[in-house]
Amino acid sequence: MGNPGCGKTTVGKILGEKLNRTVIDVDDDVLEPTWRMSVSEKLFDVGGERFLEEEGQALCNFPTPTKSVISLSGSNPLHQKAMRHTKQNGVMIFLDVPQTDILDRLEKMKVDRIVGQEAGIGMAEILNYRQSFYEKQHDIRVTCCSGDTPEIIASKLLSALKNVHNDPGYVSTRGSDCDQPSTFLDTVLQGLAKDGGLFVRSTELPTMPRYEQQRLIDMNYSDRALRILHRWINPLEIPGGQLRDFVLKAYSKEAFQDAHVAPVRHLEKNQYLLELFHGPTASFKDYALQLMPQLFSKAVRNNDKHSKYLILVATSGDTGGAVLDGFRRHSGTVFNDTGVIVLYPLSGISELQKHQMTTMDGRNISVVGVNSNFDFCQSTIKQIFNDIEFNKTMKEQFNTKLSAANSLNWGRLIPQIVYHASGYLDLVKQRVIALGDEIDICVPTGNFGNILAAYYVKMMGFPIRKLICASNSNDVLTEFFITGCYNLRSRHLLKTSSPAIDILKSSNLERLLYHTSGNNGELIKNLYQDLQDHNHFSVSEEHLRKLQSMFVVGSCSEEECKSTIVQTLKNTGYLLDPHTAVAKTVADRYTSDVPTLITATAHYGKFGDSMLPWVDRHCVSDYTSEVVLNRLNDMSSHPPLHLGLKDMCQKPITHTVQCQPDIQDITKYVVDIARKM
Ligand SMILES: *Cc1c(COP(=O)(O)O)cnc(C)c1O
């Protein structure tokens, strides 16, 4: 499938030969024999509209043979019924040739049989209109570039087919070779691997050649996302047309208040901010959680239509709001059968974070304040998960399965790959760099999910030089990347003003260690056994050197964080949130001769309570959240006020359940919810 002049007919013939299959060219083998006249004669006989209908009918009446290669006409995809008929037994491949090339070719070929031409519509307009049908209908996209010969296109197509059919699937980081790999959607439903490890690609990581990166530069966020995600998601599991739907819904105007979704803005010198707080709940977690529930719904529909799901979430502040908003908006038809329970610590999160969760509306949503800390919430949920008896009872009595939407879920990780790549492409688009030039990426890091996604972008072949991993005073990662020893002995969690990265067990590091150890599941299993038994593990000298060749680390004290916020506001007018300030502090220390992209992971508004006294000498302590937001907004020229946060201040609190740190009570509550669902 593809535009007129994209090479469908010739490529189809080459494919037929190579795969030893019958070749059917719709124009020559279906339409002209049916009509007993040429396609252009027909078009001028009956006019465009009638033509499309008759063309569609002809294809519907044609019994689709299996084991064949079919070259469609350029206009077939405009006829829904014909496409459904043709797709029954096969995959739809879109030869995505740049439009400028198509225009050149059509000009040279003096083509006169394209629907729309007869009505005098300009060719570029016709092509644009058609593109949207190809996008909707395709399963697999083959990206072609200027000057690709039919032979080259055919070989790209064959390798794309090989990739989807030989998909190695996902294994556990702690698994052995004999593991049965899981599919992508399995990993989304399951969350964690059965042996306690994390799901990873079992073979090489996907790449994206430079010519495909080039095609992305002028695209918007959703189009970039579609193409990047399809490097990671097998189109046989989620076809292109459907993934496109998901992406368009996720990154819509309704959810993201900046039209660029994840804009890049110059901060100072060679530092640029990748603003990831324009989503509905004002942290970067929205970028994953506006997409993930749609993947989850699909997985439920595909694999397990008959169970209900109850998603348990422990949050240290940002995850809860993002999960609730994502599931509320997007779980689509299965939402009736999917519930979410969020446990949050009554102390230790900001007022606005709390308000965000307790005012969230939507069906099957429960928000519970626990009179304890995040660790208790997290470990309670793990215990409930690992309680085999309890899970069995839930299934038998309420037909309900438990699931997790935490940052270890693979379905939450891959959407994060997109924005780092998009940030790079925006720097090219803004002419800060040329395609191929290197940049550094700096990320405030807690559970290592965000920076791991940046590592994947580097592995895909985007020119990322160093990944700068920034910690606050909980600097266990900084120590690890310097010494090779991950050491929790004699460490206790410190409370800081950047609470989302107050983490000592940085779980996604496990995935990085797997990839950089040559996919050595045995080694990872031993390392994490060491961590559990002795509270520390060490990697080999060689392994450490490999990590150090890619990662730069640093930590930021509370004083430094505050002073970075104040200084940056003074120098640039820009108000950083405390997490982004941690990253900037570390990036400042690592003087770099290439542009540094700092990921701005939250909007300052979420942490206004603690920040206002730092930047506003005249503030008093009993402002309402809304006044805090307004005062901060008055003091800074950027970024703009987050309207979602402002609106939320007005919303009434609807979730008032609080409980003592007692696992029995919480379990009872979970049962209650399952019963009502
Ligand atoms: C979750 C979060 C982080 C930490 O991201 P990880 O992927 O866990 O490393 C950083 N900043 C903010 C604002 C967050 O909400």
**Where does the pLDDT of residue 658 fall: very low under 50, low under 70, confident under 90, or very high at 90 and above?**
very high
Give the pLDDT confidence score for residue 194 in this predicted structure. 82
Distance of alpha carbon 515 from alpha carbon 483, whole angstroms:
19
Q: What are phi and psi of 313, to 5 degrees?
A: -135, 130
Asked whether residue 97 is assigned to any structural domain, the reply reads yes
Q: Is the beta carbon of 579 within 6 A of some atom in ligand 1?
A: yes
Give the pLDDT confidence score for residue 144 in this predicted structure. 93
Asked whether residue 335 is assigned to any structural domain, the reply reads no
Q: How many Cβ atoms are within 10 Å of 637's Cβ, its own excluded?
A: 11
Which H or E run includes 646? helix 643-650
Q: Is the beta carbon of 350 within 6 A of some atom in ligand 1?
A: no
Q: Is the beta carbon of 501 within 6 A of some atom in ligand 1?
A: yes
Q: Is the beta carbon of 366 within 6 A of some atom in ligand 1?
A: no
For 284-298, how does the pLDDT look when each residue is reduced to its tens digit (9 = 90+)?
A: 999 999 999 999 989
**Where does the pLDDT of residue 176 fall: very low under 50, low under 70, confident under 90, or very high at 90 and above?**
low
Give the pLDDT confidence score for residue 333 in this predicted structure. 52
Q: 200 CA to middle of ligand 1, Å?
A: 20
Give the pLDDT confidence score for residue 331 in this predicted structure. 66
SS3 category, 181: coil
In the predicted model, what is the mean pLDDT of residues 312-316? Answer: 88
In the predicted model, what is the mean pLDDT of residues 251-266? Answer: 96
Distance of alpha carbon 415 from alpha carbon 62, whole angstroms:
40
Asked whether residue 209 is assigned to any structural domain, the reply reads no
Q: What is the DSSP string of 283-310?
A: BTHHHHHTTHHHHHHHHHHHH-TT-EEE
Total tally of structural domains belonging to the chain: 1
CATH code of the domain covering residue 102: 3.40.50.300
SS3 category, 341: strand
- C-alpha closest to that of 406 among 202, 185, 188, 600: 188
pLDDT at 55 over 80: yes
Q: Is the beta carbon of 444 within 6 A of some atom in ligand 1?
A: yes
Asked whether residue 187 is assigned to any structural domain, the reply reads no
For 544-599, how does the pLDDT look when each residue is reduced to its tens digit (9 = 90+)?
A: 999 999 999 999 999 999 999 999 999 999 999 999 999 999 999 997 799 999 99
> How do beta strands 464-471 and 485-487 pair?
unpaired
- C-alpha closest to that of 497 among 644, 625, 616, 604: 604
Distance of alpha carbon 470 from alpha carbon 389, whole angstroms:
41
In the predicted model, what is the mean pLDDT of residues 428-439? Answer: 98
Report the residue among 450, 551, 586, 599 best suited for mutation to probe ligand 1: largest number of ligand atoms under 8 A from its CB.
450
CA 465 to chain centre: 22
SS3 category, 544: helix
Asked whether residue 144 is assigned to any structural domain, the reply reads yes
Distance of alpha carbon 496 from alpha carbon 153, whole angstroms:
54
Produce one character per residue of 283-319: b if its CB has 16 or more CB atoms within 10 Å, e if not: bbbbbbbbbbbbbbbbbbeeeeeebbbbbbbbbbbbb
Asked whether residue 60 is assigned to any structural domain, the reply reads yes
Q: 374 CA to middle of ligand 1, Å?
A: 14
Produce one character per residue of 156-186: b if its CB has 16 or more CB atoms within 10 Å, e if not: bbeebbeeeeebebbbbbbbeeebebbbbbb
**Where does the pLDDT of residue 22 fall: very low under 50, low under 70, confident under 90, or very high at 90 and above?**
very high
Which atom of ligand 1 is nearest the CA belonging to 453?
Answer: 7
What residue numbers bound the domain in which 160 lies? Answer: 8-166
Q: What is the DSSP string of 104-164?
A: HHHHHHT----TTGGGT--HHHHHHHHHHHHHHH-SEEEE--TT--HHHHHHHHHHHHHHH
Report the residue among 286, 447, 504, 565 best suited for mutation to probe ligand 1: largest number of ligand atoms under 8 A from its CB.
447
In the predicted model, what is the mean pLDDT of residues 101-114? Answer: 84
Asked whether residue 42 is assigned to any structural domain, the reply reads yes
Q: 142 CA to middle of ligand 1, Å?
A: 35
pLDDT at 450 over 80: yes
For 436-446, how does the pLDDT look when each residue is reduced to its tens digit (9 = 90+)?
A: 999 999 999 99
On average, the pLDDT of the chain sits at 92
Q: 501 CA to middle of ligand 1, Å?
A: 6
Would you say 32 and 39 are in contact if contact means Cβ atoms under 8 Å apart? Answer: yes
In the predicted model, what is the mean pLDDT of residues 102-110? Answer: 86
Most confident option among 76-90, 327-341, 425-439, 626-640: 425-439
Q: Is the beta carbon of 172 within 6 A of some atom in ligand 1?
A: no
SS3 category, 272: strand
Give the pLDDT confidence score for residue 106 in this predicted structure. 87
**Where does the pLDDT of residue 46 fall: very low under 50, low under 70, confident under 90, or very high at 90 and above?**
very high
Q: Is the beta carbon of 286 within 6 A of some atom in ligand 1?
A: no
Q: Is the beta carbon of 601 within 6 A of some atom in ligand 1?
A: yes
In the predicted model, what is the mean pLDDT of residues 159-171? Answer: 92
Q: Is the pTM of this model over 0.85?
A: yes
Give the pLDDT confidence score for residue 302 in this predicted structure. 86
Report the residue among 273, 284, 441 best suited for mutation to probe ligand 1: largest number of ligand atoms under 8 A from its CB.
284
pLDDT at 622 over 90: no
Asked whether residue 560 is assigned to any structural domain, the reply reads no
Q: Is the beta carbon of 484 within 6 A of some atom in ligand 1?
A: no
In the predicted model, what is the mean pLDDT of residues 607-631? Answer: 90
% of the chain surpassing 70 pLDDT: 99
**Bond from prior residue into 77 cis (ω within 30 degrees of 0):** no
For 399-410, how does the pLDDT look when each residue is reduced to its tens digit (9 = 90+)?
A: 999 987 777 899
In the predicted model, what is the mean pLDDT of residues 375-396? Answer: 88
Q: What is the DSSP string of 564-607?
A: HHHHHHHHHSB---HHHHHHHHHHHHS--SS-EEEEE-B-GGGG
Identify which has the larger pLDDT, 477 or 304.
477
For 324-338, how does the pLDDT look when each residue is reduced to its tens digit (9 = 90+)?
A: 999 888 866 555 678
